[in-house]
Structure 1
């Protein structure tokens, strides 16, 4: 696969860094994107040394509307063709909607809705021309769950789930597979960054997965052309059980049992 390159956002830690290691082991060249240039460069050096692959980095904040175009322009300037897109970068708000600045809310939407969509839109033409492509969009088990009070997260991840399936329907005839990867609770820095580690740590251990398992199932799904991947047996049971729940009950459950709230 040395002639194919994967663009991974949010690649400095967690699921993104795990995807980088997984694809490097399969021989893919990489373009790693995240805000923290020092961590990207350290990971790139590690993977280049271990697997002998080309590994480029580009520091960017995807809450900036100019970032997706800048990433794709940088790739073109370096002669990099994007064959695989892993839209992994994400966050979750932790304060009440009415008490959060619009700048913060707009950044959340830009990061996980607009940037995800724009990056796909910018790389798909090249994939179609070459007749091959793989796109993994990080959704969440939350896309199947009741909405949580004060959160945009469940609505955003539902969008990612739905649009990924729509894109897969359109693009599969052109050799492009699109998968919404919907993990549940995953051991990573996510809850530390969001300040919700305290509440998340009280959840039963059976609900948690290692990022290596999430990535392995997600990559297997997109390779085989499955548009939705819910990794882990427990998560599959949860997602299947949530779909028939009436909206009124979803609202009550989401308001009462919100694992992302701070405190």
Structure 2
């Protein structure tokens, strides 16, 4: 496979308005890419586009979309084409997590979680990959999670969506390699973003306080280093990488129980 060439190519980034998506925007612009920024917040996207243009001299296109709507996800390629653009690299980053007892979660919110975290990247791949095949190359980076490696009680739906995205990425990595299309899954642990606030859970950040947290900038830097080496999966951050590897040697039931103790409600001390 030909190594991906960033210069004068265009990257489409979902969830680009903050966190990991914003970090991808800055680092890809620094590598000479032009950008298509996708998120729900127009004001944040326009501000980011202006900053990227001033700092890197890149061209940016802002597309406002709610990708939890399957029609908006599948229609993204037509909007890009209508703007006279093409996406050479897709960064599927948009997503969120819910935390707490399953019986207390909103079914509508968890459905939206599945649509955004799992279905949207699938719809986007179906919309853009045929064009990449026709042009003889392209790339997709899917932001999954270390939660995709095992069951995550009290975040069961989130973990399941990330497992789907991880396995989809690995399958497409092998399947699309003959078409010169590079696919990689990014599986970080906790990253210093607004993920915890967006979860709506006041206890999630505390539940993960013993797990080392890395910056969005480091997450993206290590991800792009792995992408340049053609790897199908990367776990940014040494500590979380060791944790995910050690979990491979534990019985799944035990690993799930440990996750439940970490993410579940803490028992109050008595006496």
Query: Shared fold by TM > 0.5?
Result: yes
Is 1:89 matched up with 2:130?
no
User: Structure 1 segments of 4 or more deviating over 4 A?
Assistant: 201-206
Query: What is the CA deviation profile of residues 224-261 of structure 1, one whole-angstrom value per residue up to 9, with x for unaligned ones?
Result: 21000011110110010112221221231122111799
Q: 1:223 aligns with which of 201, 222, 228?
A: 228
Q: Which digits, 9 at most, give the CA deviation of each residue in 1:140-180, with x for residues without a partner?
A: 11112442135201111111111100000011111111111
What TM-score do the two structures reach when normalised by structure 2?
Answer: 0.90
* Number of residue equivalences: 261
Query: Is the counterpart of residue 258 in structure 1 residue 270 in structure 2?
Result: no
Query: Which residue of the other structure, out of 121, 125, 129, is the alignment partner of 1:120?
Result: 125
1:126-165 superposed matches below 5 A:
126-149=131-154, 151-165=156-170
Partner of 1:235 in structure 2? Answer: 240
Aligned pairs for 1:1-263 (under 5 A) are 1-149=6-154, 151-196=156-201, 198-201=203-206, 203-204=208-209, 207-258=212-263
**Worse-superposed segment, 236-245 or 32-41:** 236-245
Structure 2: 5+ residue runs without aligned partners? 1-5, 267-271
Per-residue deviation at 1:95?
Answer: 4.1
Q: Distance in 2 between matches of 1:260 and 1:51?
A: 46
CA drift at 1:204:
4.9
Mapped partners of 2:215, 2:155: distance in 1? 28
Distance 1:120 1:260 in 2: 37
Residues 92 and 194 in structure 1, CA contact (< 8 A), matched pair in contact too = yes
Residue 3 of structure 2 corresponds to which residue in structure 1? Answer: none
- CA distance in 2 between partners of 1:248 and 1:3 (Å): 48
Which one is further off, 233-242 or 142-151? 142-151
Is residue 135–residue 222 contact of structure 1 (8 Å, CA) maintained in 2? no
Whole-Å separation in 2 of the counterparts to 1:260 and 1:35: 32
- Give the alignment's TM-score, normalised by structure 1: 0.92
Q: CA deviation at 1:98?
A: 2.9
- Give the root-mean-square deviation of aligned CA atoms: 2.0
The answer to whether the Cα contact below 8 Å between 1:82 and 1:126 also exists between their aligned partners in 2 is no
Shift of 1:206: 6.7
Compare 231-240 and 252-261 and name the one that shifted more.
252-261
